[in-house]
Structure 1
Amino acid sequence: MLRSLGQRPVTGSGEDPRAVELRTAVSRLRRQLAAHPAEFPDRTVAEEELAALAAMAVGGTPEIPRLRRSLLLIAGAIGSVSALARGLADVRQAVELFGPPPRDGRAGDGRAGDG
C-alpha cells in the first residue's frame, strides 16, 4: 500500500505505533521503578515525569520538546541507578521515534531559561 509522505502507519486499533511504543516503554520503566527497593533523592521527579509521558502517549501526538524535557528530567533523576538503565534506554528510543534530537543538542522546549 502506498502512503503519502509524512503519514505514519497505524496499528489495527488506529493508534500511532510510536505512541504505543512510548506507552509500553514508559509502563515498563514505571513498573521497574516501583519495584526498585532503594530510595533516592529524585525518585518523585522520575515518577511524576513518567506519569506525564504516559499521559502524553495516551493523549494523541505529543509535543516533541515536552517529550524530550521529560526524558531529560527522568534521566537526571534515575540515571545513576544501573538497575533501571535498560528501561531508561527503552524510553529514550521510544521518544526518538517522534523525531531526532535538535541539531544544537538542546532538549528543552525553546523557552527562555532552558539549557
Structure 2
Amino acid sequence: MAVYRRPVAGGSGDDPRLEGLRTAVSRLRRELAVHPADLPDRLVAEEELAALDAMTYSGVPEVPRLRRSLLVIAGAVGSVSALAPALAEVRQVIDLFGGVPEPRGKVH
C-alpha cells in the first residue's frame, strides 16, 4: 500500500494529496475495468471514480464530497475482495484531506 504525506506549506507545484488521489483512483479504475465479474453496480463505481478524478483537476475538493464519493464506490464494489486493496488506498488518500470522522454518538 502506498504511503502519502501531507503537503508542506510553501511548497511549489501540485498538492501531493491530489497527485496521490489521482494515482489511487487510476489504480482502482484499472483494476475495476479488468475485473471479470459482472458487477451490478460497476457503472455507478466507474462514474463516481471518474467524478473523483475530475475533482482532482479543479483544485482541492471538499472533504464531504470526497467522503460521499468513497461511500458510493465502496457500496458498489466493497464486497469484491480483489478490489479491496485499491479501494483501501483511495480511502487512505481521502483521509489526508481531512480528519477521519468520529463515530456517531461519541460525546466529548
TM-score by length of 2: 0.83
- Residue number in structure 2 paired with 1:32: 31
* Deviation (angstroms), 1:60: 1.1
- Alignment of 1:20 with 2:2, yes or no, is no
Instruction: Spell out the pairing of 1:1-115 with structure 2 (5 A cutoff).
Output: 8-9=7-8, 14-105=13-104
Paired letter, 1:79: G
Q: Can you list the C-alpha shifts for 1:74-95, whole angstroms capped at 9, x where unaligned? A: 0010001111000000000010
Q: Do 1:43 and 1:78's aligned partners in 2 also have CA atoms closer than 8 Å?
A: yes
Q: Can you list the C-alpha shifts for 1:56-106, whole angstroms capped at 9, x where unaligned? A: 11211001100000000000100011110000000000100101133355x
Q: Could you say what secondary structure the match of 2:56 adopts?
A: helix
Paired letter, 2:23: T
Aligned residues: 98
Paired letter, 2:71: L
* Deviation (angstroms), 1:29: 0.4
Distance 1:9 1:18 in 2: 11
Give unmatched runs, 5+ long, in structure 2. Answer: 1-5
The two structures, once aligned, show a CA RMSD in angstroms of 1.8
Give unmatched runs, 5+ long, in structure 1. Answer: 1-6, 106-115
Distance 1:68 1:101 in 2: 10
Q: Do 1:23 and 1:58's aligned partners in 2 also have CA atoms closer than 8 Å?
A: no
User: What fraction of aligned residue pairs are identical, expressed as a percent?
Assistant: 67
Deviates more, 1:95-104 or 1:28-37: 95-104
Q: Can you list the C-alpha shifts for 1:14-57, whole angstroms capped at 9, x where unaligned? A: 10000000000000000000011111111111001100110111
